[in-house]
Structure 1
């Protein structure tokens, strides 16, 4: 199995276009040792030729251009993408679907029923795409039932619901439902190696923890260092947990959970907000992650669990 990081930042990217927090200002003027990032998305492949796009960020066209492996050029019009799997219905994970409207034939999209409701009612992307390539919607079970993806038959997929919040435009924004946000387990049937992927993770319950313990690599929510990171900087009154993101720091933070995994588990963070001090490669927070054996993903990175 191959996993390619197309984008590693949270919504807005890094630097965010209208932000002058210390991180964004520093990466712009060169005073900060940091790497710009596009909004989070990954691609998964069994053979390095056919790929499943997991989340379609607003930066998808730049991401495709930066990753030529996704364009095998076997025909006049071609793509290495066999389809799209959506982890949630958030704008920073679905807007890129508009950019794929030239697809030849209906675009295969795996999503849960709550996400389908978000994208047909609250933000009717699927309706708009019906006027272009069309959508071949595949129901994504989120009770742990295994499912397959056309073109990636060597990989077995299963999903579980996560504690998080639906998109602001969701018909059930104030009444979160199972399936609003999922964690994804992907196993290679040839060698048994397994990835757990969860870019949005508000809390770790028993099923989530069991899934993480099963995996050889966990690629999880790295949005905030502190729960009150945005209020501290004055960029928002919202805390990380209130919008569905478990911070890294603290007794019940992501670091403490990742420390409990087996020493052989590869631990990686994705969906990193522009305010997070771990973006500063010379920061004490980045050094602390290194001491715990936790990696910060970057755009263009590829690994195998």
Structure 2
């Protein structure tokens, strides 16, 4: 089983188009050691030709051009994308669907809550009905293990787990969270039992989530913010990390403390906001992660299990 990180940044990418924070200015000017990043998405395959796209970033066309494996060119019109699976309905995870409109109907796997958002709050499904169309396959996650297998994707199972979080700001039920607004995902190689737990938006470590994390061989987890008040201190927002559904890395109960208590799996942060100091590879914060055995994902990172 192979996983390719297509995009490792949070919404807006890095550098963000309108941001002049230390990180964004630094990567543009070359005054800090940092890599540019596109918005968060991964692809999963067992044979290297047929892939599940997990989250459809607005940067999907750039990501496809950078990833030849997703264009196997078996015919005049072809794609390696066999299906799309959504972890939530956030703008940076769904608007890439519009860029796939020239192809065949999109097999789309998502929860009923996400489907409602994409038909009512942000009607992408209606728009796409005038182009390629969408074939919806419902994901019905719960606190038990219920694997899903996808046609054409051999030897891999996908187990969605409910996470506690809010729906996107545009959602009709933004202030009334529904089961399935946000998912984590266990991705298992059925041949050898190796597992990845993927959760790019993770605000609370509930018992069933902790169990999944401990059972994984690799963790791809929310790396959005370093500190709880990061956006407030920089003057970019009046909301804390928790208000936006993210668990910061530092501080009591933060991601570093959580991961220190888990031994065994490879630990990687993804969905990194442009303000997060860990993007600067020479920063003290990045050094702290390294000391704790935690990696920072980058576009093009490949994981084989």
TM-score, length-scaled by structure 1:
0.98
Deviation per CA, 1:14-59, whole angstroms, max 9, x where unpaired? 0000000110011111101100000000000111111100000000
Equivalent pairs counted in the alignment come to 303
- Residue aligning to 2:163: 162
Give, in whole Å, the separation in 1 of the partners of 2:182 and 2:131: 27
Q: Is residue 237 of structure 1 aligned with residue 210 of structure 2?
A: no
Bigger shift: residues 265-274 or 151-160: 151-160
Give, in whole Å, the separation in 1 of the partners of 2:147 and 2:42: 20
Q: Which runs of 4+ in 1 moved over 3 A?
A: none
- Residue aligning to 1:123: 122
Mark the runs of 5 or more structure 2 residues left unpaired by the alignment.
none
- Residue aligning to 1:260: 261
Deviation per CA, 1:163-222, whole angstroms, max 9, x where unpaired? 111111112100111100000001111000001000000110101001111110010000
- Residue aligning to 2:141: 142
SS in 1 for 2:211: helix
Give, in whole Å, the separation in 2 of the partners of 1:113 and 1:134: 18
SS in 1 for 2:227: coil
Deviation per CA, 1:253-298, whole angstroms, max 9, x where unpaired? 0011111112x21000000000000000000000000011100000
- Residue aligning to 1:57: 57
Q: CA deviation at 1:147?
A: 1.0
Q: CA deviation at 1:153?
A: 2.5
SS in 1 for 2:126: helix
Mark the runs of 5 or more structure 1 residues left unpaired by the alignment.
none
Give, in whole Å, the separation in 2 of the partners of 1:253 and 1:150: 38
SS in 2 for 1:256: helix
Give, in whole Å, the separation in 1 of the partners of 2:296 and 2:164: 23
Give, in whole Å, the separation in 1 of the partners of 2:179 and 2:268: 25
Q: Is residue 108 of structure 1 aligned with residue 107 of structure 2?
A: yes
Counting only pairs closer than 5 Å after superposition, residues 30-49 of structure 1 correspond to structure 2 as 30-49=30-49
RMSD across aligned positions (CA): 0.7
Counting only pairs closer than 5 Å after superposition, residues 20-35 of structure 1 correspond to structure 2 as 20-35=20-35
Deviation per CA, 1:49-100, whole angstroms, max 9, x where unpaired? 1110000000000000010110000000000110100000000000000000
TM-score, length-scaled by structure 2:
0.98
